[in-house]
Chain A
Amino acid sequence: MAEKSFLLEVVTPRRLVLSEKVDEITAPGELGEFGVLPGHIPFFATLGIGEVMYRQGESKRYIAVSWGFAEVLGNKVTILAEIAELDTEIDVERAKRKKELAEEKLKTMSADDKDYLKVKASLNKAMTRMIVAGRRM
């Protein structure tokens, strides 16, 4: 494979978040994190909550994503996510509030509560946002 870079597109139902040439990405697959370099074979995976890293030359940027799919095909990676926020867009205050709220709720819940997973996910999302925002340059 001669190509050194490939196209990364991140789409949500609301908008096209990103469409750029990148050299490498890592993404939070549901069954574990995976990385893609140029020349990857066709690959399709569901995504969990976590951060997508993309590298352009020496600089690494991050996107917080939550639930979605990634398709690797030829010279293009498409990520369809329910939520995707660039590190520069994240509202840290909001994430903090959400995190505290979720932690409060979790204290009074047991693992059998029907909302337990929901709150857990919300905590997870808030933490991911904070981590991604922390990577801001």
Chain B
Amino acid sequence: MAHHPHLPKWKETAEKEMKGKSVDTLSWTTPEGITVKPLYTAEDLEGMESVNTLPGLAPYVRGPMATMYTGRPWTIRQYAGFSTAKESNAFFHTALASGQKGLSVAFDLATHRGYDSDHPRVVGDVGKAGVAIDSVEDMKILFNGIPLDRMSVSMTMNGAVIPILAMYIIAAEEQGVSRDKLEGTIQNDILKEYLTRNTYIYPPAPSMRIVADIIAYCSREMPKYNTISISGYHMMEAGANSVLQTAFTLADGVEYVRAALRSGMDVDTFAPRLSFFFGIGMNFFMDIAMLRAARFLWHRLMSQFNPRNPKSSMLRTHCQTSGWSLTEQDPYNNIIRTTLEAMTAALGGTQSLHTNSFDEAIGLPTDLSSRIARNTQLIIQEESEICHVIDPLGGSYYLESLTSSIVSEAQKIFDEIEKLGGMAKAIESGMPKLRIEESAARKQARVDQGLDVIVGVNKYKLANETIDFEVREVPATVRDEQISRLKEIKASRDKKAVEKALADLTSVAKNGGNLLEAALPAVRARATLGEISDAMESVFGRFVATTRCISGAYASGYSGDNNAVTALRRRTTAFLEKQGRRPRILVTKMGQDGHDRGFKVIASAYADLGFDVDISPMFQSPEEAAKMAIENDVHVVGASSLAAGHKLLIPALIEELKRIGGGEILVVAGGVIPPRDYDFLYKAGVKAVFGPGTPIPESADRTLALLEEKYLRRI
């Protein structure tokens, strides 16, 4: 089709409205590098492969099911879990009674990393960011009164995936439910752990074997169970834009398919049980297009394996609204953000959805905030009437163009990864991680400059922030409860049987065989999660991450001259002139939380502002962080906390610094810290607390002011 006959007329009219300026100046370049024009017309759709297809049919752009929500709306699946199994179980019962359809379990970080609750490394983590599970007894309590043959259960587990899945199978078995009836999903996506979330245990090669073993076992024994949830969510949360999220997630998927094929499986025996998990951010049309593009690309990528079953190349996905987009400031705004993101996921055609609670930048969700989150989806499903039509935005000139742009941009990155030898090799090369970090640093710079608006954070700020709602806190007694139950279990079980089962598991790890199958007898004998993990670790070893950090990306995200950056650089240089060295900061992350976006963006940005920045390894204990602060003789330690461990770990760091002679080293804290804990931290000796959404120049300014006060003004 040629130009729309009236297009020149429109242009003329528009430019008149703009007082002579060209309409081209209205174009916008997205963070993905896609140019968005002010107007799309039918001509933009010419020759597009992804346009005018049908739902339920290849290439599935418009949805994997033929009827989509007109038949049945998406599953409301809220991710939850905290404290003890008993507390979480009660929470599940309430949620199910209030309209939730499936369960999604969050485990605490100790569990993720394969530690029992009594391990000295996890004092700050037990029951904090999820539920603590030490043995099958905990798992049974978690699902008490929940019929596992009729409830689809999703479990976010990647590191300690063998003991957790085994415990789930045995808990069902002891409930009288055979494993072939189990429905649900295990995340089991280890590749992205090395990329962003860092809750791995073993090195990549044995971890990939675990993935393949689970796929093999479940395809044989648990036909209704999704063996993997290939996740882009964590990449988005780490700062990946939508094109990066699509490309890296699908590349992970292809890598798993190849691993399963290498282990001798037929593609159609496992590929239909692969599921996906995407993160949905605030760029409304972009992420609708992203889901459509991802389905198209997955179909294209899977065709190289010649599946006969159409389900093998059909992308089914869970979605979650972005946690990163939630703000601590003016937190009720988060309800609106989450609503928009939920609409995005629905219009993109998701199969299930988690909506975040508005208070998650401040603390753990409460009964009230969880209800609002759940109701957000119920209201969209039952009041907005959007479910009557399949892919209602299909055919939109803009959306179809965007879909096609994402397809071609993501394909380019995918091809780059293939050239590196696939995603496992690419991860080893560090390429995907650097891309994500670069994207995150640029985003932060745009936010800090106000180019990307966040209402209540960098525009329309409240003069006074008050919190007039309850904030949930996990009681410190959770760890004690877990430890006493561990003691009980260890005292009452058949010690010899446990030892034998664990030795058998170690032998399978060493000599081959299916690890999930081999873990079942150990779980039945009441071996703990830590013991089962150790039995494999003795053969596989524990993985140590390579933390790389880019410099320059933050400053380059600042367009042109920026006063804030220049002024801070001048001050760090003045500090150097008076003190003989630059202000030196150790950025550390204590506890088992592996989300390292904030910590890396800070490191990169502070270096760009003229600080010398030491970065600590992940998963530090307060003692280890203190030793590093002393050896490197830093002026200040910046402790990042996202997983509710701050009240234990940060005071412990301050104590340890004092004990070993580093009492004059200042400590500042940042991350998800509820405002009502600020006083507690100040009393413990923390000099400044930076909540989520604090612009980096502001935190750098306050940190530098503390140092100037201490070192430059006391003469």
- Same complex: no
Q: Which residues of A contact B (CB under 8 A)?
A: none
